[in-house]
């Protein structure tokens, strides 16, 4: 079949990537979707079982740092679009092993950019009809203050906008910031049609259970301690992953070249309040008495360099492209908790082996 477009999605076997791949494979049968993923501990093809046999879907196990391989894929499939999600993503891992983050997030992104440039500049139409879409995070902007009366959200008077100066604090956010700069430099220097988005914390099915929400759901189910960093006062802005995937679809097709768009949920939670909601939801679904698992909360040493508050102003995306989160948090968290409790086999598979060793080492 002659496909209308040929798009690489990197990191498609990970959490957000798998939702994006699924959405594109199902919504655009006339696009060829090429999932390029190294399958690190965070990548799992079980996340894509339902679409793996679709005729417009191809999986290629490859490292984005492998420049020759990237060029080969671009040429072989006449790629005209990239949605780049592959990355090392866990802040705690970045504190223990910053080098891996620089390699994948910075050099890997550069390798992909160079492969795109190498292939596209050889074509007669060059960059016409092409798009390199880089997915980034709100963490590059640094941390906001808690400077309102602390009853109800929002917990601060300032928000991250597209013009907020970069001020990353963790090796993870520093590596993402560096990669964002490289992407923008390829537009400014070579004229590559790039676009960058910075999104807040995502939650939903298929998130690797080293991140707060799936880790805590799993621990509550098993009656294991819930390690809350510091006093649990840090604030994050949570967005349901399918809403992020919808924004990515919209921006890939309609976003303006060389622009940045912030994506967020207008949904701030202090960690400790969010954790209590998760406990109440899991206990209710499992039929436990109210408050049954509250005793699992265990305050532990704070994360080094722990950013106090993230809060995104996504009004540009709303005004220019009409995107808004579709799901209320109560509905999203209910769906999410139910999914993890109903997909125990998935949880057990991804938490066996390497992850289990890391987790035991971390909290011994």
CB-wise, 74 or 203, nearer to ligand TYD?
Answer: 203
Binding to ligand TYD, residues 174-203 (CB under 6 A): 201
Residue of the chain from 215, 296, 311, 337 that contacts ligand TYD (CB under 6 A): 215
The residue with tokens 């999914």 is 339
Euclidean distance between CA atoms 157 and 147, whole angstroms: 6
Euclidean distance between CA atoms 185 and 194, whole angstroms: 9
Sequence-distant (6+) residues with CB within 8 A of 304 are 95
Euclidean distance between CA atoms 254 and 256, whole angstroms: 6
Report yes or no: 249 and 24 within 8 Å, Cβ to Cβ: yes
Name the strands in the sheet holding 57-61, side by side, starting at the edge strand that comes first in the sequence: 57-61, 31-37, 5-10, 81-84, 131-137, 194-199, 260-263
Q: Which of ligand NAD, ligand TYD, none does 64 bind, CB closer than 5 to 8 A by kind?
A: ligand NAD
Reply yes or no on whether 166 is catalytic.
Answer: no
Q: Which of 37, 88, 139, 233 is catalytic?
A: 139
Q: Which of ligand NAD, ligand TYD, none does 212 bind, CB closer than 5 to 8 A by kind?
A: ligand TYD
Binding to ligand TYD, residues 260-319 (CB under 6 A): 271, 303
Euclidean distance between CA atoms 294 and 292, whole angstroms: 6
Q: Which of ligand NAD, ligand TYD, none does 63 bind, CB closer than 5 to 8 A by kind?
A: ligand NAD
CB-wise, 201 or 336, nearer to ligand TYD?
Answer: 201
Residue of the chain from 9, 82, 86, 183 that contacts ligand NAD (CB under 6 A): 86
Q: Does 89 bind ligand NAD (CB under 6 A)?
A: yes
What string of H, E and C letters represents the secondary structure of 241-281?
Answer: HHHHHHHHHHHHHHCCCCCEEEECCCCEEEHHHHHHHHHHH
Binding to ligand NAD, residues 9-28 (CB under 6 A): 10-11, 13-17
**Tokens found for residue 238:** 């949570």
Q: Which of 31, 155, 172, 310 is catalytic?
A: 172
- The residues carrying an active-site annotation are 138-139, 172
List interacting residues with ligand TYD (CB under 6 A). 91, 201, 211-212, 215, 227-229, 234, 236, 271, 303
List interacting residues with ligand NAD (CB under 6 A). 10-11, 13-17, 37-40, 42-43, 63-65, 85-89, 104, 108, 135, 137, 176, 199, 201-202, 208
């Amino acid at each position: 079949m002659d496909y209308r477009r040929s798009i690489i999605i990197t990191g498609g076997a990970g959490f957000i990537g798998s939702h994006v791949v699924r959405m594109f494979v199902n919504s655009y049968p006339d696009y060829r979707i090429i999932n390029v993923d190294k399958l690190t501990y965070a990548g799992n093809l079980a996340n894509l079982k339902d679409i793996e046999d679709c005729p417009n879907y191809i999986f290629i196990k490859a490292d984005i740092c492998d420049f020759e391989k990237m060029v080969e894929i671009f040429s072989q499939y006449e790629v005209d679009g990239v949605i780049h999600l592959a990355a090392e993503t866990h802040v705690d891992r970045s504190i223990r092993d910053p080098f891996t983050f620089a390699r994948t997030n910075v050099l890997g992104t550069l390798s992909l950019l160079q492969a795109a440039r190498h292939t596209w500049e050889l074509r007669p139409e060059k960059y016409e009809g092409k798009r390199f879409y880089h997915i980034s995070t709100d963490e590059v902007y640094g941390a906001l203050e808690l400077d309102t009366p602390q009853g109800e959200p929002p917990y601060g008077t300032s928000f991250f906008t597209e013009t907020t100066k970069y001020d990353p604090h963790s090796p993870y956010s520093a590596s993402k910031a560096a990669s964002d700069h490289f992407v923008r430099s390829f537009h400014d220097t070579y004229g590559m049609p790039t676009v960058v988005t910075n999104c807040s914390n995502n939650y939903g099915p298929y998130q690797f259970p080293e991140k707060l929400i799936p880790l805590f759901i799993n621990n509550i189910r098993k009656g294991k301690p819930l390690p809350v960093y510091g006093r649990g006062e840090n604030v994050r802005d949570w967005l349901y992953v399918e809403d992020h995937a919808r924004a990515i679809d919209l921006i890939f097709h309609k976003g303006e070249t060389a622009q940045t768009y912030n994506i967020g949920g207008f949904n701030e939670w202090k960690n400790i309040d969010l954790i209590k909601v998760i406990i109440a939801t899991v206990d209710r679904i499992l039929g436990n008495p109210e408050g049954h698992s509250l005793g699992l909360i265990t305050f532990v040493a704070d994360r080094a360099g722990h950013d106090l508050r993230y809060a995104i102003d996504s009004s540009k995306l709303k005004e220019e492209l009409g995107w808004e989160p579709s799901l209320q948090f109560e509905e999203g968290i209910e769906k999410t908790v139910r999914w993890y409790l109903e997909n125990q086999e998935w949880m057990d598979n991804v938490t066996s082996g390497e992850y289990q060793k890391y987790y035991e080492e971390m909290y011994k």
